[in-house]
């Protein structure tokens, strides 16, 4: 079947269209602790129905996953979340949300392969939960930005105080974000891409 105008698929003859050749795909990770809003952020940004591996939490998670701060949470990501954001005719972002629980961290290495950077979501009510993700990306030299998700009672905390508490270097951007709002999430992605390009340069 012939490709329609603007179609980026490979043509019947096996030759990629010029648009496909010029398209720059970037892989970005969305990481953070359990219940911090990774699935919500991917869903808010993705232009296609996001792929999610959310599963119902069962009694097996009792005593393993702390839901005291997020008692309404009934599902959890067991593999990854996936979404796509087309920035313009030349740039498309592929979002991979990582699982938050430590028992699924073995998947991070595979998800991080080929990524240009990461967004580390932080819930200031549970700041300790973000250290594992920050350490992971710092140890691998992968650029990342810290995004402080809007939860009740967490707005207005001074960014410098947060930076000291997380022990992240001055070169690492820290931004407030509402993971439910696509415009807010887009601003964080732009910050990450700019940060990654600066690091690469």
Q: With respect to CATH, is domain 24-198 assigned 3.40.50.300? A: yes
The first and second tokens of residue 74, run together, are 């009934």
Kind and range of the H or E element at 180?
Answer: none
Mean pLDDT score, 154-177? 93
Structure tokens at 84: 């796509």
Q: Tell me the sheet residues that pair with 95.
A: 28, 83
147 — pLDDT class (breaks 50, 70, 90): very high
pLDDT at residue 77, as a whole number? 47
Give Cα separations from 12 to 9, 17, 91, 128 (angstroms).
Answer: 9, 11, 24, 53
- What per-residue string of b and e applies to 44-80 under the rule 16 or more CB within 10 Å gives b? bbbeeebebbeeeeeeeeeeebeeeebeeeeebbebb
Where residue 93 falls among pLDDT bands split at 50, 70, 90?
Answer: very high
- pLDDT for 40-76, tens place per residue? 999 999 998 877 655 554 444 444 545 555 545 445 5
What local confidence, expressed as pLDDT, does residue 155 receive?
A: 80
Instruction: Report, as an integer, the average pLDDT of 139-159.
Output: 91
Q: What is the mean pLDDT of the chain?
A: 80
For the ranges 7-21, 103-117, 138-152, the maximum mean pLDDT occurs at 138-152
pLDDT of residue 130: 92
């Amino acid at each position: 079947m012939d490709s329609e105008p603007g179609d980026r698929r490979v043509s019947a003859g096996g030759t990629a269209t010029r648009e496909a050749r010029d398209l720059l795909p970037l892989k970005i990770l969305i990481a953070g602790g359990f219940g911090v809003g990774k699935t919500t952020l991917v869903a808010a940004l993705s232009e296609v129905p996001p792929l999610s591996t959310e599963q119902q939490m069962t009694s097996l998670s009792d005593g393993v996953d702390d839901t005291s701060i997020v008692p309404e949470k009934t599902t959890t990501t067991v593999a990854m979340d996936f979404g796509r954001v087309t920035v313009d005719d030349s740039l498309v972002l592929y979002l991979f949300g990582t699982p938050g629980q430590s028992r699924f961290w073995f998947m991070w290495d595979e998800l991080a392969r080929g990524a240009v950077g990461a967004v580390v979501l932080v819930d200031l009510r549970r700041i300790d939960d973000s250290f594992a993700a920050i350490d992971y990306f710092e140890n691998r030299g992968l650029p990342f930005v810290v995004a402080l998700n809007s939860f009740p009672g967490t707005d207005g905390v001074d960014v410098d105080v947060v930076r000291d508490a997380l022990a992240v270097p001055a070169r690492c951007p820290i931004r407030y974000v509402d993971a439910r709002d696509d415009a807010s999430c887009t601003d964080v992605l732009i910050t990450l891409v700019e940060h990654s390009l600066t690091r690469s340069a």
